[in-house]
Structure 1
Amino acid sequence: MSDTTRNSGRIFPSRNGTAISRAQADGQPGAPAPAAGSGTPAPAASSKPPATETIARRAGAMVNEIDFPGFVSQLVHGTFDAIVDASIRQMESYSGLVSAVAKTVDQFTEENVTFNQARDWLVSRYPGDVVLQLPDAAGTEPRLSPRAEELSPVWLADYGLEGQELSTELLEQQILPQVRNKVGAERQQLLATMVLLGLNRVAVRDGSISAKVMFRAAARDAAAVQYATSSDPQAVATWGERGSLSQTSQSTTMVSTLAVNAQNESTVRADLFGEVKLNFVSETLPLDRLADAAKIALVQQHSPAMRPAAPPPALPPAAPPAAEGRP
């Protein structure tokens, strides 16, 4: 008795016990069976190469893309330029102070003190007598005015105006220029004292620069194969007929299931690290190492600390002791 062919499924038995496809069983073209005894396997479908084979190529491409020598060069040059720029700025600032202090009081005042600053100083110094009037829509600049009429404060004697009546014209034309020169002289004296102390320079004592690059590459290939076989009784029309079959005439269909699950994963990562450590120290350079003797003499003239102290007033001679009378 020949084996029966199950037409309702996708796997069909043959007489030699092997499974054939439905196209082969129906004799349809386009599905040729392998020749018996040829030993040539069917060509495998093209698949993605394993990650373990491509990880080296991806890591090499990333190494070429990252300019590590350029990164180190920028780190070193940037640190050096920052240190040099800081030193130059310190020297330029101190040189500007020396040049400003070496000028005359009138030149320093003209360049560094404005009339509005002198007005603010005068109002803050004598708030009970002087008020500042802000400009209106038609005005061009603020003006000083007395708080009361027919006022003659005692501090006018400091400006050689003792006994005069305080007015807007007196404040703006005679007192304001003197106040401006006074403010300029005070600022110049303060700067001169600071310059004579020397340049307090911030310098780099030592330090370190480190740079590194870290590449991380990981690859993972995983494959899982599941193979299952089962036997199915002879395919019949109904379940009742299947149960009535005799054991001697029953044929079995062997069904094999093959499932393949292949996964590959690769990761390439690059980290750049740069670190700069600098230890600063403070050192003082004396003025004589930065300026000539002429400028040093001008600076000393404007500094109250270098002016010779005024001699103390001479005391009147002591009166001789009175002679004691004889009894």
Structure 2
Amino acid sequence: MSGTSEAVTQATRLSEIGFPEFTTKLISDVFDALVSSNIRQTEAFIELLQQTSKSLTAFINDTKDDISGEMILDFLAKALPAPVDDQDKVTAVENNGGTATLTEDQANQLNDALALPSEAGVANDNKVASSGDNNYDSILDAVALRISANKYDLLKEMVKQGILRLVIENGDIETRLTFTTYGSSFSRETQNKYNRKAFSARARAKTGSALSPWVKASASTKYSNVTVSTTSKTDQDRSGSRVNIFGGVKINFRTDYLPLDQ
């Protein structure tokens, strides 16, 4: 099959590319992504409102068990750091067999950091530290309550300021199909023939003693035949096939704030 015939054959397969299906799926996928994004944002808003609609006591009870040990350690390191001369510790609250020993100043400093408002419904407003020996686990539990209250205050502040919402203002969906055919075949024939024949004979004879020694006879024959035959043939046929499908989505984004405490 020549290159041209092959190119034509490939061109007839354009329908197998499925470009309409490609474009349809691109549009539907973009639409689904936009809808899903909006749903996720709405769900996040709803969850935020649900959490902040709880009382402080209910919110603390629902979230205190989710506070990690790393968060508690970070809180203690900031509220009551270790002495400067003790580089091996990050906080002065050290577990010694379930007991944490604090000085009066350390206990007062820690209680100020742990204090919760009365509406939290926590005994002694969460001030559990005292001078001398303290129950180490009780301090950790109090820290978890304080961190939960901090999260509640943060969510409340977010509601006051409004939530950052991602909005699609306008967008372009572009699809493009480039289909070209190209094939290549090459044939070349070269024939060279060269023939050369040559014959040469030379004879020399003497007449004998009856003649003068200066009388001589000679014969010379030469034959030459040269044949040259050259044939050169070049057939060249070029074509081909190449398919390039391009799909792109252009979307411009705009953000605004959605007030929630109305």
Cα drift, residue 183 of structure 1: 2.5
Cα drift, residue 115 of structure 1: 7.2
SS state at 1:167 partner: strand
Q: Distance in 1 between matches of 2:260 and 2:10?
A: 62
Q: Which letter does structure 1 place at the counterpart of 2:4?
A: T
Q: Higher strand proportion, which one? A: 2
Q: Which letter does structure 2 place at the counterpart of 1:131?
A: V
Cα distance change, pair 163–96 in 1 and its aligned pair in 2 (3 A): closer
Specify the alignment match of 2:60 in structure 1.
109
Q: Which letter does structure 2 place at the counterpart of 1:102?
A: S
Kept in 2, the 8 Å contact 1:225–1:259? The answer is yes
Specify the alignment match of 2:137 in structure 1.
172
**1:56 and 2:8 correspond:** yes
Q: Which letter does structure 2 place at the counterpart of 1:267?
A: G
Q: Which runs of 5+ in 2 are unaligned?
A: 83-90, 116-123, 203-218
**1:91 and 2:42 correspond:** yes
User: How do 1:187-266 and structure 2 match up within 5 A?
Assistant: 187-219=151-183, 238-240=199-201, 245=221, 256-266=229-239
Q: Distance in 2 between matches of 1:75 and 1:152?
A: 63
Deviations 1:266-308 (A, max 9, x none): 32111111121101111222326xxxxxxx7xxxxxxxxxxxx
Cα drift, residue 127 of structure 1: 2.0
**1:69 and 2:20 correspond:** yes
Q: Distance in 1 between matches of 2:6 and 2:111?
A: 95
Kept in 1, the 8 Å contact 2:72–2:140? The answer is yes
Cα distance change, pair 229–67 in 1 and its aligned pair in 2 (3 A): same
**1:281 and 2:257 correspond:** no
Cα distance change, pair 53–121 in 1 and its aligned pair in 2 (3 A): closer
Q: Distance in 2 between matches of 1:257 and 1:115?
A: 93
Cα distance change, pair 223–127 in 1 and its aligned pair in 2 (3 A): closer
Q: Distance in 1 between matches of 2:5 and 2:201?
A: 57
Q: Size of the alignment, in residue pairs?
A: 223
Q: Which runs of 5+ in 1 are unaligned?
A: 1-48, 289-295, 297-327
Cα distance change, pair 223–265 in 1 and its aligned pair in 2 (3 A): same
Specify the alignment match of 2:81 in structure 1.
127
Cα distance change, pair 284–227 in 1 and its aligned pair in 2 (3 A): same
Q: Distance in 2 between matches of 1:64 and 1:162?
A: 77
Q: Distance in 2 between matches of 1:163 and 1:268?
A: 81
When normalised by structure 2's length, the TM-score is 0.66
Cα distance change, pair 146–239 in 1 and its aligned pair in 2 (3 A): farther
**Equivalent of 2:100 in 145, 157, 160:** 145
Q: Higher helix proportion, which one? A: 2
Q: Distance in 1 between matches of 2:28 and 2:246?
A: 16
Specify the alignment match of 2:212 in structure 1.
none
Greater C-alpha radius of gyration: 1
Q: Distance in 2 between matches of 1:131 and 1:287?
A: 40
Q: Which letter does structure 1 place at the counterpart of 2:78?
A: S
Q: Percent of aligned pairs with the same residue? A: 26
Q: Distance in 1 between matches of 2:42 and 2:92?
A: 42
Deviations 1:11-33 (A, max 9, x none): xxxxxxxxxxxxxxxxxxxxxxx
Kept in 2, the 8 Å contact 1:227–1:258? The answer is yes
Structure 1 range deviating more: 123-132 or 276-285: 123-132
Q: Please report the RMSD computed on the Cα atoms of aligned residues, expressed in angstroms.
A: 3.9
Cα distance change, pair 89–188 in 1 and its aligned pair in 2 (3 A): same
